[in-house]
Chains A and B, each alone.
Chain A
Amino acid sequence: DTEVTQTPKHLVMGMTNKKSLKCEQHMGHRAMYWYKQKAKKPPELMFVYSYEKLSINESVPSRFSPECPNSSLLNLHLHALQPEDSALYLCAVSTGVSGELFFGEGSRLTVL
């Protein structure tokens, strides 16, 4: 069973499009994360939600807009992206206190 589910797995969008990435967790953890990973690079933290409130924003451009509608869902809204934003976007959850992150399989985004 995949306890952190991300959709879509692949997304191709133009620079003028508006799209969203979705993440759903079934682990009951209260911290949810968005990471971005480019080829041959480590995952880079973008946002952290703790108890459905944004607690960390790593100076991410406003063309990325996160949303946490409830404790199970995390969205990343995309608008006016650039080709260099093409990457694997990873959702993760944790207890928020310490310990491991549980990652989803990622959404592979290509911006044309």
Chain B
Amino acid sequence: DQQVKQNSPSLSVQEGRISILNCDYTNSMFDYFLWYKKYPAEGPTFLISISSIKDKNEDGRFTVFLNKSAKHLSLHIVPSQPGDSAVYFCAGGIQGAQKLVFGQGTRLTINP
């Protein structure tokens, strides 16, 4: 049972445009969500998080939107830069449960 799903394995965006990465979840107990970025041969690095009490969180070029009724979240990157090319994972968790469940990842490629 996949509790966190990223249905797009890959996404290609032109430099300077907006990148939108999507994530769906099934576990209604999740009360916080995170996005991670991963380069090849490196561990994932934390990008941005959102609590279930919010519907938006912004940090520089990165904005995460949460739609609890649809059990959907998205990561917006504006403007997209070549260095943003990486695999992006979304993850859901329950406060205090010490466990994150990751989606399968979306490979983002930013074209010059």
A105-B42 contact given A43-B89, A99-B49, A100-B49, CB 8 Å threshold: yes
A105-B41 contact given A40-B105, A42-B89, A42-B104, CB 8 Å threshold: yes
Assembled-state Cα–Cα distance A40/B100 (Å): 18
Assembled-state Cα–Cα distance A108/B40 (Å): 11
Interface residues of A (CB under 8 A from B): 4, 6, 31, 33, 40-45, 48, 50, 55-56, 90, 92, 94, 96-106, 108
Which residues of A have CB within 8 Å of B34?
A: 100-101
Q: Evaluate contact between A104 and B96: CB separation under 8 angstroms.
A: no
Assembled-state Cα–Cα distance A48/B99 (Å): 8
The smallest beta-carbon distance between B50 and chain A, in angstroms, is 11
A-B contact pairs, 10 of them (CB 8 A): A31-B98, A41-B104, A42-B104, A48-B98, A48-B99, A56-B99, A99-B32, A101-B44, A102-B46, A103-B44
The A-contacting residues of B in range 45-91, CB under 8 angstroms, are 45-46, 49, 89
Which one of A31, A101, A108 lies within 8 Å of B41 (CB-CB)? A108
Q: Which of the four size classes fits the interface of chain B? A: 20 to 34
A45-B89 contact given A90-B43, A100-B46, A105-B42, CB 8 Å threshold: no
Q: Evaluate contact between A105 and B43: CB separation under 8 angstroms.
A: yes
The smallest beta-carbon distance between B17 and chain A, in angstroms, is 26
Q: Evaluate contact between A97 and B41: CB separation under 8 angstroms.
A: no
Q: Evaluate contact between B44 and A43: CB separation under 8 angstroms.
A: yes
Contact with A along B21-50 (1 / 0, CB 8 A): 000000000001010100001111110010
Q: Evaluate contact between A106 and B43: CB separation under 8 angstroms.
A: yes
Which residues of A have CB within 8 Å of B100?
A: 45, 101
Q: Evaluate contact between B96 and A98: CB separation under 8 angstroms.
A: yes
Q: Evaluate contact between B43 and A96: CB separation under 8 angstroms.
A: no
Which residues of A have CB within 8 Å of B4?
A: 42
Q: Evaluate contact between B95 and A98: CB separation under 8 angstroms.
A: yes
Which residues of B have CB within 8 Å of A105?
A: 41-43
Assembled-state Cα–Cα distance A99/B50 (Å): 9
B35 nearest in chain A by CB position: A100
